[in-house]
Amino acid sequence: MLKNLVPLNLPKPDLKLARQGTKLMVWDDIRKKYLKLTPEEWVRQHLVHYFIKQRQFPRSSIALEGGFELNKRSQRTDILIHKNTIPWLLVECKAPQVALSQNTFDQAARYNLHYKTPLLVVSNGLQHFVAKVNHEEKRYEFLDDLPNYND
């Protein structure tokens, strides 16, 4: 399984790994439980550690795999960051082998119709796209970097 987990374009986190039978598991410090370490979870955990350690996002501001309904269908966000209890940043994670495309960005933008966050991130751990969202004009401005939580 470790051979499927490629090095990412993010700082290396200090992950707690364990085996459960033949499955490799990773400790999720936000949800306080071990999860199956899939390639997408590999990216999600790297991003969470990056947000906390490098960008000073409070742990309490991070929600993972939250469910909501859009067009009468159940959906699930990968990462949602709140600021002052208001959704501030929505992150869509893909496995490293999944190429980021317009469809990937459209998926994140659809999810954001529900939350209306001012920032949107799409990442496969190798590439990361950050966009500032203008909901009134339905426009996206791509940014070079993610703002710090306290900016």
Q: pTM score, two decimals?
A: 0.92
Do you know the residue count of the chain?
151
Residue 36 lies in a domain: yes
Categorize the per-residue pLDDT at 3 as very low, low, confident or very high, splitting at 50, 70 and 90. Answer: low
Residue 10 lies in a domain: yes
How many CA atoms does the CB half-sphere of 128 hold within 13 Å? Answer: 19
Do 91 and 121 touch, CB atoms closer than 8 A? yes
Condensed to tens digits (0 to 9), the pLDDT of residues 32-57 reads 999 999 999 999 999 999 999 999 99
Condensed to tens digits (0 to 9), the pLDDT of residues 133-148 reads 999 998 999 999 988 8
List the domain range (segments joined by +) for residue 75.
2-143
Categorize the per-residue pLDDT at 59 as very low, low, confident or very high, splitting at 50, 70 and 90. Answer: very high
| Confidence (pLDDT) at 138 | 87
Count of domains in the chain?
A: 1
Do 44 and 93 touch, CB atoms closer than 8 A? yes
User: What mean pLDDT comes out for the span 103-126?
Assistant: 94
- For residue 75, give the 3-state DSSP assignment: strand
| Residue 135, CA distances (Å) to 110, 119, 131, 141 in order | 12, 10, 12, 11
CATH code (residue 75): 3.90.1570
Do 102 and 142 touch, CB atoms closer than 8 A? no
What is the pLDDT of the chain when averaged over all its residues? Answer: 92
Instruction: Count other Cβ atoms within 10 Å, centred on residue 121.
Output: 22
Residue 148 lies in a domain: no
Residue 151 lies in a domain: no
Distance CA 66, CA 63 (A): 7
